[in-house]
Copies of this chain bind each other. A is one copy, B any other.
Amino acid sequence: MTKTNAGRFFEDYRVGDVITHAVPRTIKMGERALYHALYPARHALHSADTFAQSCGLPFSPLDDLVTFHTVFGKTVPDVSLNAVANLGYAEGRWLTPLWPGDTITATSEVIGIKQNSNGKSGVVWVRTTGRNQYGEDLLSYVRWVMVRKRGDGPAPETVIPKLMDAVAADELVIPAGLDFSAYDFDLAGEPHRLRDYAIGEVIDHVDGVTIEEAEHMLASRLWQNTAKVHFDATNRPDGKRLIYGGHVISLARALSFNGLANAQMIVALNGGAHANPCFAGDTVRAWSEVLDVADTAAPGVGAIRLRLVATKGAADALRDPEGKYLTDVLLDLDYWALMPV
């Protein structure tokens, strides 16, 4: 009997199962310093206590993607160790900010399952919830992955969950106390407010960042994401390591500061595709498209729905004539952020 974790196979998931993910994690300011070293992150609310306080918060919360990556990392040993592909995200909502000193735990409920016609793999849907040390929900999202079958037993009954195309604007959770009525645009870095953005507008975020192996490995480890494809150069003939998709998300989001400096907090993840793999040496650029705008009940706070695309190619180029992602495209993410109206 081996003592190491071989990961779950398709047969090990049953709809309704709730998986407790191991290794709780306390996050403090050290993780924030590393986040700033790993990504060109400049959104003021996540950079300065004073700015966060001027927005009604007690001090600056961790970047919303720190919550996402840490929760995601917890799920890897139980959900994606034998995954062939990370297929999609839906219904992601940030429910409480992550404050320095908080300890994160996570569970996932299996909400869907469908064997592939080849009989060798299948798709598993899980709804993952991250919680803080008070048991409050920090983040909830649905992810579906393709997982290998261990044997060739019969297919389970297919259950495909009904998922929203996008989180509705009135279901966004605004952090308690958030107030943009005294928002300082000079300190935030740009003058553009929600009403300055038009639906359909495309923003080229201009800058590019070339990724090194050391950087994405530091980042993936920081989130305790230990999937071997990110670390073991002997997995591929060219010695390259597949970069954690979340690294590209954080990189693109940080680059989007240039043009979206006031899209301060991410509150929902409507969907996302890791269109092509990313490797060290790639120079990542980003562009955004405004998909929607909405008001919220919080003073001065609006919501902007954005498509964020990370690419090695040109801005505004996404799919070929057949509808397939262009090979330069790395990420196509659909999210809601909060912005002064």
Q: Give the CA-CA distance A32 to B25 in the complex, in Å.
A: 11
Taking the closest CB of chain B, its distance from the CB of A7, in whole angstroms, is 10
The answer to the question of A33 belonging to the interface, with a C-beta cut-off of 8 Å to chain B, is yes
- Give the one of A23, A196, A218 with max B CB within 10 A: A23
Interface positions, chain A 25-59, Cβ under 8 Å from B, are 25-26, 28-34, 36-44, 47-51
A-B contact pairs, 18 of them (CB 8 A): A3-B197, A3-B260, A4-B205, A5-B189, A28-B29, A28-B32, A30-B31, A30-B32, A30-B34, A36-B224, A40-B221, A40-B224, A47-B224, A50-B103, A207-B228, A207-B231, A208-B231, A234-B283
The residues of A with any CB-CB pair to B shorter than 8 Å are 2-5, 20, 22-26, 28-34, 36-44, 47-51, 60, 77, 101, 103, 105, 133, 186-190, 192, 196-197, 203-210, 212-215, 217-219, 221-222, 224, 226, 228, 231-234, 239, 241, 258-261, 281, 283
Other A-B pairs, 20, CB within 8 Å; known A28-B33, A208-B231, A209-B231: A20-B186, A22-B189, A22-B190, A23-B189, A24-B47, A24-B48, A26-B48, A26-B49, A28-B29, A30-B34, A33-B222, A37-B218, A37-B221, A40-B224, A49-B133, A50-B133, A207-B226, A210-B231, A210-B233, A234-B283
